């Protein structure tokens, strides 16, 4: 059985704050393997496709604006149950309520801006991971 794969994104706020190394350290310390890594400035087209399920929602445009505001570190990671494991490691979406010990709980906070800047993205299912990895690692 081959290991599961997931997409992890260190969002522009994480890159700008110099947290990419700490986030990647936590991924590796958890025992997951980084099999591809790149820093990109995402196009609007890529982001619109990545977040297509949110199109039409009030936060869609602010989200695209935030995600295109600076470089993103895109990571292909693998390991047993890596999707579930990374999402647990990332913590709750809202950094204010994310548990201590998680990426968002330890490193994130609410900055009072239009869209939640919460440091990382992780695929939420094997189907999402396949679709997202194909977008970011074409």
DSSP string, 10-27: E-HHHHHTT-HHHHHHHH
Cβ pair 60, 51 in contact under 8 A: yes
Neighbour count for residue 53 (Cβ, 10 Å): 9
Instruction: Tell whether residue 87 is among the known ligand binding residues.
Output: yes
CA–CA distance, 13 with 46 (Å, rounded to integer) = 18
59 among annotated binding-site residues = yes
Catalytically active residues, by annotation: 121
Residue 60 marked in a binding site: no
Q: How many CB atoms lie within 10 A of CB 25?
A: 11
Q: Flag whether 30 is marked binding.
A: no
Residue 17 among known ligand-binding residues:
no
Binding residues for ATP: 11, 59, 87, 93, 104, 118
Binding residues: 11, 59, 87, 93, 104, 118
């Amino acid at each position: 059985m081959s290991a599961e794969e997931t997409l992890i994104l260190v969002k522009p706020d994480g890159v700008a704050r110099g947290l990419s190394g700490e986030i990647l350290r936590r991924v590796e310390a958890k025992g997951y393997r980084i099999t591809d890594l790149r820093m990109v400035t995402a196009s609007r087209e890529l982001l619109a496709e990545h977040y297509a399920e949110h199109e039409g929602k009030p936060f869609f445009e602010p989200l695209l604006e935030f995600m295109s505001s600076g470089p993103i570190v895109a990571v292909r990671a693998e390991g047993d149950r890596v999707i579930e494991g990374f999402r647990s490691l990332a913590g709750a979406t809202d950094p204010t309520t994310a548990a201590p010990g998680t990426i968002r709980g330890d490193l994130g906070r609410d900055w009072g801006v239009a869209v939640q800047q919460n440091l990382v993205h992780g695929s939420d299912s094997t189907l999402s991971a396949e679709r997202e990895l194909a977008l970011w690692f074409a």
